[in-house]
């Protein structure tokens, strides 16, 4: 079979657009994205209905990993991303119960995890911290009075974990444990977003902490313009998307490293389904490319919408991923798909341009 006959539709669209003059190409892609508005909105609504049905009595969301603050926070942010708010129908109770679950899970150390035995508690902790920062000011006064000190303790733990003495190439980042002496770009992405969100809200997050984190992110940059999991590692789609979003949210809009990362991602567009962390990668790349804007977002957005729309199941969920993503279950994959597809709604403060 001719290999070109098996090319994904997204690749064919991009190849055709590349032949057009720049202005015409931009108009064509913008029109293509507008055509996705109605099916994307309908898909998101079905997904949120699925997530609401999967919420447990304690406010968490069903997952093979059990009661998990990180997955719960992602599910809740999916509702926020479509403009739903705590205490307001139709999903206000879902949000309130989920926020209460996250708050009730906090340990005396400040860690926001339902189980202290978690393999990588900093993942759940930083995602849950991001949620609390994003809903600050949206919740009822009595819930806000609980949230303020909980968020403060959570942020102090993140800052303390960053300050742990590490080799110079790893300084400024985060890893699985708050005491880890190395760093990776994945944990660092969530931690940095939580700090950036809190700083945007007026929290006393030192600018130096943001700058140090970006310095670590740049340590993970590869010669090909992509980013690796740790310094010296090979480029990957999810890793490059993470780095791009971090750069864009922290004052590096369209600088050389950001544009190169966007170019690298576009080169991977025909192969996103092969990505071992598909939902993680499509989420971060969608957010990062939207922030980068221009042709990068328009081209990636057309591909991303096509990929996710054809994968959604009849019940509104997205099938679980492969490998490690499979352990997170359909709630996770559905939340990540919604967060990726709803980026243009610009409802979550952290992701607004």
| Farthest-apart Cα atoms in the chain, separation | 64
Please state whether the peptide bond connecting residue 90 to the residue before it is cis, i.e. omega within 30 degrees of 0. yes
Q: List the pLDDT tens digit at each of the 353 positions of the chain.
A: 333 333 333 333 333 333 334 444 555 656 667 889 999 999 999 999 999 999 999 999 988 888 999 999 999 999 999 999 999 999 999 999 999 999 999 999 999 999 755 668 999 999 999 999 999 999 999 999 999 999 999 999 999 999 999 999 999 999 999 999 999 999 999 999 999 999 999 999 999 999 999 999 999 999 999 999 999 999 999 999 999 999 999 988 989 999 999 999 999 987 777 778 899 999 999 999 999 998 899 999 999 999 999 999 999 999 999 888 888 999 999 999 999 999 987 777 776 65
Q: Is the Cβ–Cβ distance between 269 and 299 less than 8 Å? A: yes
The gap between the terminal CA atoms of the chain, to the nearest Å, is 44
Q: How far is CA 154 from CA 91, 193, 274, in A?
A: 26, 13, 35
**Which pair of tokens denotes residue 193?**
């977003």
pTM: 0.89
């Amino acid at each position: 079979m001719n290999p070109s006959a098996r090319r994904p539709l997204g690749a064919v669209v991009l190849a055709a657009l590349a032949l057009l003059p720049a202005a015409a190409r931009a108009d064509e892609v913008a029109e293509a994205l507008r055509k996705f508005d109605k099916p994307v909105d309908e898909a998101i609504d079905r997904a949120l209905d699925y997530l609401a049905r999967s919420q447990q009595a304690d406010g968490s969301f069903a997952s093979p990993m059990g009661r998990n603050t990180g997955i719960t926070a992602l599910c809740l942010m999916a509702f926020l991303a479509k403009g739903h708010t705590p205490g307001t129908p139709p999903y206000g109770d879902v949000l309130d119960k989920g926020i209460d679950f996250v708050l009730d899970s906090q340990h005396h150390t400040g860690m926001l995890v339902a189980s202290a035995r978690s393999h990588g508690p900093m993942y759940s902790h930083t995602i849950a911290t991001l949620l609390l920062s994003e809903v600050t000011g949206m919740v009822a006064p009595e819930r806000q009075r609980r949230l303020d000190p909980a968020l403060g303790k959570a942020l102090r733990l993140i800052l303390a974990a960053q300050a742990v003495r590490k080799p110079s190439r790893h300084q400024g980042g985060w890893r699985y444990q708050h005491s880890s002496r190395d760093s990776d770009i994945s944990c660092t992405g969530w931690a940095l977003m939580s700090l950036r969100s809190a700083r945007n809200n007026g929290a006393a997050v030192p600018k130096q902490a943001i700058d140090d984190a970006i310095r670590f992110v740049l340590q993970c940059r590869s010669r090909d313009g992509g980013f690796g999991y740790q310094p010296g590692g090979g480029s990957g789609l999810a890793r490059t998307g993470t780095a791009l979003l971090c750069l864009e949210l922290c004052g590096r809009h369209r600088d050389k490293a950001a544009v190169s990362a966007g170019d690298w991602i576009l080169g991977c567009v025909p192969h996103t389904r092969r990505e071992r962390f598909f939902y993680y990668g499509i989420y971060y790349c969608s957010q990062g490319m939207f922030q980068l804007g221009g042709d990068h977002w328009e081209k990636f957005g057309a591909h991303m919408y096509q990929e996710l729309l054809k994968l959604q199941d009849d019940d509104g969920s997205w099938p679980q991923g492969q490998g490690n993503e499979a352990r997170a279950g359909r709630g996770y994959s559905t939340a990540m798909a919604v967060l990726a597809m709803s980026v243009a709604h610009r409802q979550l403060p952290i992701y607004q341009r």
